[in-house]
Chain A
Amino acid sequence: MVAPAVALAAASAASRRSWRRLFRWRAPGSRAPCRPVCTARGLPGGNEYDLLVIGGGSGGLACAKEAADFGKKVAIMDYVVPSPRGTSWGLGGTCVNVGCIPKKLMHQAALLGGALEDAHHYGWDVAPSAPHNWQQMATAVQNHIKSLNWGHRVQLQERNVKYFNIHGSFVDDHTVRGFTKAGKETLVTADHIVLATGGRPRYPEDVEGAKEYGITSDDLFWLKKSPGKTLVVGASYVSLECAGFLTGFGLDTTVMMRSIPLRGFDQQMALLVTDYMESHGTKFLKYCTMRKLEKFEDQRLQVTWHNHEVGREETGVFDTVMWAVGRVPETRHLNLEKVGVTLHPDSQKILVSASEATSVAHIYAIGDITEGRPELTPTAIMAGKLLARRLFGHSAELMDYDNVATTVFTPLEYGCVGLSEEEAERRYGQEGIEVYHAYYKPLEFTVTERDSSQCYIKMVCLRGEDQRILGLHFLGPNAGEVIQGFALGIKCGATYSQMKKTVGIHPTSAEEVTKLWITKRSGLPATVTGC
């Protein structure tokens, strides 16, 4: 053993070195942090990065990685301001953390509950109803999300994109300043800047107690305990999807709607969606608006609302109230006024051209933050990639936002591509369109005696000649899987004549699309009977 005095001295020296290293500690291989001195501002070539993306969600990540693949020096900033409830999450944006991914997983969890009920019809010796453990499900969902957060970090590293976990805002049109959680300031300069900060759920301004006692979709997926008896306020797909899976877990769930469900979607389909939910356990408070939220001592919530149909105030008690009354773009904290990026006066979203350019030459915007675009992950991703290719890859291809397929993952799913019947009528007149439709019964529903009253398909076509398909609407199980293939057909200008020549796959629900022949105009009943 070494003489204690020498060992002690050596150890002291080592400890002093390690202390010095502590303060100078920097990841090997990482770039030095930006010095708080601007390099030649506004001059192309004088900025530190070729591209800075603000926002690490679906659009931002896709754009950054695509640009890096062209060999450009790219940086991305991502920062999650905790929700009023304190919920926060990692890299990946809304879709990964508090949107599509956890939503679809929880929707699947709820569907499995339904499958358990069906199982004994098919010979399985299982109890038709089993209790649902929220914590077990939430942990599994949250763990998957964390693996995706990690995956995105690794991809950025592998594609050589510099990642800053800071909240950025403009200092000038080529310089963005951000502060880390610890309060450290960083300045980043770039030739091109892409804004992709997305949106956050809106809290109603005129409801007492809204922020203190209500949650939003930002919080729902990260709850450690079951939300219990829940009131979901809103008629958006967020509201209906969440209320749908909560009902599926056996929770006492109510949806409060001010007027129509799924504004912007085909209204006939929207009403079928809510009809299904209503006949399968979700309660609806229609034509009601919230007044106030109060909390009891036992933590339950007293909700007061105005029922416009009967013209009086009503109250109810819930464990959880979730707001799903729309989303606001994250433009407030970017300091956009400083650089002159113009926003839409009502929505406060960023106004962009067909090439995603803002009112400032080298600043672009993609995704939920942009005005007039669908708030969807795949469109943000594609727009981001095409933008990167136009900026750095000598491409001229613009994003095509027409005929984008989408699906609402309510208990009975609604998938659609193209125009709603109302929009087609608006554009071509009722005489200018032909609407084919049919009710159908999925084979799987027969043995289990499931109600298929809302299983319905509608195809809106141009009248005359080949009857180009303007829109396709499908309500039924696996609607997303069904509609995806047809979206390709519609993109290629498919017509009703071509659809008639397409042989269906049997036995599926999708084949019913190829078999449509009854028009609304004919007045015939649209019920399909057997093979």
Chain B
Amino acid sequence: MAQRVVLRRFLAPVLFRKLPRCRWGPLPPEVLAQGSSGRPAAALCLARTFSTTKISKVTFNVQDGPDFQDRVVNSDTPVVVDFHAQWCGPCKILGPRLEKMVAKQEGKVLMAKVDIDDNTDLAIEYEVSAVPTVLAIKNGDVVDKFVGIKDEDQLEAFLKKLIGC
């Protein structure tokens, strides 16, 4: 597990130079076995030159506290964290919109999605009260935040500020 962590952190900067939209060959079994976040296989990206590489995606679902620590707090790349809930209507609007704007940033920022019902303690820890709440995390610190829906321009500005500073 530690080896996979190391490999992912090492290769992340390399992989993210490529655009996330891609149609590649079948995924190696070890990638499928990783069980990352339940996203459909088509959304996963493989760098063609690294056919046996473990992959990181621009957007991922946080599984639990240690996963958050690992992929968000310890991330070298800034991360926007989307705290959302199944029962939250506005979250269903903001989520895809934010994903789209994050994808446009070409890997300079990652997006972590936290379902607050599955990760209640984590959400409480980060003082989330209403959803959707989006935190901007850089080097383990919360540097920015907003609550509620934003339009694409506002999201772009939010992300650019995070990447820039």
Is there an interface contact between B10 and A22, defined as CB atoms closer than 8 Å? no
Interface string of A274-314 (1 = CB under 8 A from B): 00000000000000000000000000000000000000000
Interface string of B1-39 (1 = CB under 8 A from A): 010011001100110000000000000000000000000
Contact residues on B (Cβ < 8 Å of other chain), bracket: 20 to 34
Is there an interface contact between B120 and A150, defined as CB atoms closer than 8 Å? yes
Is there an interface contact between B69 and A27, defined as CB atoms closer than 8 Å? no
Chain B, interface SS category: helix
In the complex, A394 Cα to B128 Cα: how many Å? 34
In the complex, A154 Cα to B123 Cα: how many Å? 9
Interface size on A, residues (CB 8 A): 30
Interface status of A25 (Cβ within 8 A of chain B): yes
In the complex, A30 Cα to B65 Cα: how many Å? 14
What residues on B are CB-neighbors of A158 within 8 Å?
A: 129
Given known contacts A7-B10, A27-B125, A30-B125, A18 and B5 CB-to-CB distance under 8 angstroms: yes
What residues on B are CB-neighbors of A345 within 8 Å?
A: none
In the complex, A8 Cα to B11 Cα: how many Å? 10
In the complex, A25 Cα to B72 Cα: how many Å? 14
Given known contacts A14-B9, A153-B120, A143 and B87 CB-to-CB distance under 8 angstroms: yes
Is there an interface contact between A22 and B120, defined as CB atoms closer than 8 Å? no
Is there an interface contact between A15 and B121, defined as CB atoms closer than 8 Å? no
Nearest to A91 among chain B residues (CB) is B120
CB distance from A88 to the nearest CB of B (A): 13
Nearest to A144 among chain B residues (CB) is B87
Given known contacts A14-B74, A15-B2, A15-B9, A25 and B65 CB-to-CB distance under 8 angstroms: yes
Nearest to B122 among chain A residues (CB) is A27
- CB under 8 Å from chain B, chain A span 136-187: 143-144, 146-147, 149-150, 153-154, 157-158
Is there an interface contact between A147 and B124, defined as CB atoms closer than 8 Å? no
Is there an interface contact between A8 and B2, defined as CB atoms closer than 8 Å? no
Is there an interface contact between B87 and A147, defined as CB atoms closer than 8 Å? yes
| A18: contacting residue among B69, B86, B128, CB under 8 A | B69
Q: Which of B2, B65, B87 has the most CB of A within 10 A?
A: B87
Interface status of A501 (Cβ within 8 A of chain B): no
Interface status of A316 (Cβ within 8 A of chain B): no
- CB under 8 Å from chain A, chain B span 20-70: 65-66, 69-70
Nearest first, the 4 A-B pairs at minimum CB distance are A143-B87, A27-B125, A11-B6, A147-B87
